[in-house]
């Protein structure tokens, strides 16, 4: 119920009174348990299904898994990073809540997979850079699909294969980790 509000309407336009009414409770009850709208949002976000996909996929299929979610994922779910980012865009506190949880759950799982399974990983910094590059591609692709009127060059399985291959290359390619100078 409340989760639907957070993915269907801009976060700033969702009132606790509206959510409480839909849930059949009072707004003060929501405040008692969650303190703020951001607190309620934090409880409703569920990135576990995406984490499970990342953890269960063969390493060589993670790029396609991310691309498939960005292209075909459920935009009405509180597990949809793209839907949550679009809905919370007007609230820096809500965006921080969403991105912090995403980085902890999805970023953490992806980092572990890269560190433990990717070819030629040059330490944790390399694994972290690969992780952040792949997540930037995933987030960018999902955002473009929501807002890009012309669509994408290919659709369905072809799009997943094409975009998945690009993301997979990022996961598998060592990065040049900058070396800090002693004088910096």
pLDDT winner (highest mean) among 62-76, 84-98, 114-128: 114-128
Q: Is 176 helix (H, G, I), strand (E, B) or coil?
A: coil
* Contact by Cβ (8 Å): 145, 71: yes
pLDDT winner (highest mean) among 4-13, 29-38, 57-66, 78-87: 57-66
168 CB-near residues (< 8 Å, 6+ apart): 60, 62, 63, 64
Alpha-carbon dihedral 45, 50, 54, 60, rounded to 10 degrees? -140
Task: Supply 34's token pair.
Answer: 């969650």
* Structure confidence by residue, pLDDT tens digits, 142-171: 877 766 555 555 567 888 888 899 999 999
To which residue do tokens 């999902």 refer?
Answer: 142
40 CB-near residues (< 8 Å, 6+ apart): 2, 16, 19, 30, 34
């Amino acid at each position: 119920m409340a989760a639907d509000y957070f993915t269907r309407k801009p976060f700033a336009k969702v009132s606790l009174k509206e959510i409480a009414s839909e849930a059949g409770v009072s707004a003060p009850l929501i405040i008692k348990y969650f303190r703020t709208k951001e607190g309620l949002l934090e409880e409703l976000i569920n990135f576990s299904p995406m984490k499970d996909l990342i953890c269960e996929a063969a390493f060589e299929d993670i790029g396609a898994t991310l691309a498939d979610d960005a292209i075909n994922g459920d935009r009405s779910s509180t597990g949809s990073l793209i839907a949550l980012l679009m809905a919370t865009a007007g609230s820096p506190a809500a965006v921080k809540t969403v991105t912090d949880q995403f980085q902890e759950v999805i970023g953490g799982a992806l980092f572990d997979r890269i560190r433990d399974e990717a070819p030629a990983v040059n330490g944790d910094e390399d694994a972290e850079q690969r992780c952040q590059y792949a997540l930037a591609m995933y987030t960018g692709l999902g955002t473009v699909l929501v807002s890009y009127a012309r669509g994408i060059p290919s659709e369905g399985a072809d799009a997943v294969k094409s975009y998945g291959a690009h993301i997979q290359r990022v996961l598998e390619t060592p990065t040049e980790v900058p070396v800090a100078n002693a004088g910096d």
